[in-house]
């Protein structure tokens, strides 16, 4: 059977089927490659974790860890010194101020209510 013997819809259908088959093959291959890549990524992550743990146990690793901790402590101390020298309120101080402002707001509302009550009592009743 020659391709010229087929009708146009038959040719179109055969082409569509081939394309679907090719797309399906690509999707299966991609899923397989993705699964392999994920597996290798996990394996490499585990290997790196083990190597890092082994390195941290060596004298050089311990020395580097000490340097890192000292640098971290030094940086924290410098930031704290900087913040202490700047006129910036700390969060604890801001919390205290917020509570004080809230207490003052409650007192002002209470005074306004009592003032309104006194004003209401002092106003003579209007005849109806």
- Residue positions counted in the chain: 128
Nearest to 56 by CA among 70, 68, 72, 74: 68
Structure token digits, residue 87: 């006129």
Per-residue pLDDT of the chain (128 residues), as tens digits, is 565 667 878 888 888 999 999 999 999 999 999 999 999 999 999 999 999 999 999 999 999 999 999 999 999 999 989 888 888 777 888 999 999 999 999 999 999 999 888 887 765 555 55
Pairwise CA distance, residues 70 & 63, whole Å:
11
Taking each helix axis as running N to C, give the angle between helix 8-57 and helix 59-85, from 0 to 180 degrees, rounded to the nearest 10.
Answer: 90
pTM for the predicted model, two decimal places: 0.41
Give start and end residues of each alpha helix (H) in the chain: 8-57, 59-85, 91-122
């Amino acid at each position: 059977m020659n391709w010229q013997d087929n009708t146009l819809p038959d040719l179109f259908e055969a082409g569509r089927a081939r394309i679907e088959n090719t797309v399906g093959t690509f999707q299966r291959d991609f899923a397989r490659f993705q699964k392999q890549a994920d597996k290798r990524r996990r394996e490499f992550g585990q290997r790196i974790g083990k190597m890092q743990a082994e390195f941290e146990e060596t004298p050089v690793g311990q020395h580097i860890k000490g340097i890192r901790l000292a640098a971290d402590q030094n940086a924290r101390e410098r930031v704290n010194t900087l913040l202490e020298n700047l006129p910036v309120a700390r969060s604890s101080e801001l919390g205290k101020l917020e509570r004080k402002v809230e207490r003052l707001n409650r007192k002002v509302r209470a005074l306004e209510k009592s003032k309104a009550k006194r004003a209401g009592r002092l106003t003579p009743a209007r005849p109806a």
